[in-house]
Amino acid sequence: MIHLKPEDLSIPDLQRTLQFAVGPRPIALASTVDREGRVNLSPFSFFNVFSTNPPILIFSPANRGRDGSTKDTLNNVLAVPQVVIHSVSHSMVEQTSLSSTEYATGVNEFVKAGFTATASDLVQPPRVTEAPVAMECEVLEVKALGDGPGAGNLVICEVKLIHIHERVLDEEGRLDQDELDLVGRLGGDWYVRANGDALFEVEKPIATKGIGVDALPPSIRSSTILSGNDLGRLGNVEMVPSEEEVSEFATHRRIREIFEQTTDRIERREHLHHYAKEALEANKVKKAWKILLTDRLNAPKGSANL
């Protein structure tokens, strides 16, 4: 590994390193107005949700890297502390990127990017009609993190009203992750699309208290076949299958074949670990546990089909 101290890097190099290392980052497409009511629209990927009660979003329009000057969005929220924050779907990512162009103050990026403006209900800035989700917010606080080039400015916003297009709702009326088709920001010109095969679920250890990777048998923990993710899933169970369950499972055809075709213990363990990995990839964690624990048995007796 190499070791970098931020103070030894130029601001552009440090920014590039951070933006490549920290991602994907959600994008806040923020609309604001100045005291004259002139509209500004710009995307920010230094952004996230930080509280549900109250509902708080924070984004950061950083000072320009070349001269430390502030952006119109920051100037606007200091003058008129309101903002509409939009989710960015794949169908609007190119227009969103175009809106990041540093047009002169007073130029309306809704027009430049080809977005349709709809009047908001509670705040002055309009919202982007094409966005799947638009959140009208009051700005509670703006916290400067520095005054030089690249310094962030945390814009702390409380959500007052949420607009959601029906096209991104599931049958139960809830947001559908696949239909949202969101994009995330990476380093350089790179983005990522949260849709289709890119989506996957990881069961959260909230309702259960997993045994932990440290509780796995050494032969499993040191496996050269099972990945760290595999071990994490195995460690997320509250209890392992009983000896009776494992013995019954060991009568299944494929387990019997592995025992019959391998005489070497190490070779047999490798076959079992490959089989367990297949089960984990099919989201069958308990089955994977049974497969792995048959390694402790002598040649299983009886027969069954699997």
Predicted confidence band of residue 296 (pLDDT cuts 50, 70, 90): confident
Tell me the C-alpha to C-alpha distance, in Å, between residue 126 and each of 115, 135, 210.
11, 11, 47
Give mean pLDDT, residues 269-298. Answer: 93
Predicted confidence band of residue 207 (pLDDT cuts 50, 70, 90): low
pLDDT of residue 304: 42
Decide if pLDDT at 292 tops 90.
yes
The yes/no answer on whether domain 6-198 falls in CATH 3.30.420.40 is no
- The 10s digit of each residue's pLDDT in 91-122 is 999 999 999 998 999 999 999 999 999 999 99
Predicted confidence band of residue 37 (pLDDT cuts 50, 70, 90): very high
Classify 227 as helix, strand or coil. Answer: coil
Element (H, E) at 154: strand 153-164
- The 10s digit of each residue's pLDDT in 138-178 is 999 999 999 889 999 999 999 999 999 999 999 999 999 99
Query: What's the count of helices (H) and strands (E) in the chain, helices before strands?
Result: 11, 11
pLDDT of residue 200: 81
Return d(Cα 292, Cα 241) in angstroms, integer: 10
Average predicted confidence (pLDDT) for the chain: 93
Q: Where in the chain is the domain with CATH 2.30.110.10?
A: 6-198
Give mean pLDDT, residues 121-126. Answer: 98
Residues 6+ apart with CB under 8 A from 185: 19, 23, 24, 25, 26, 27, 45, 191
pLDDT of residue 301: 54
Decide if pLDDT at 188 tops 90.
yes
To which residue do tokens 């990927």 refer? Answer: 45
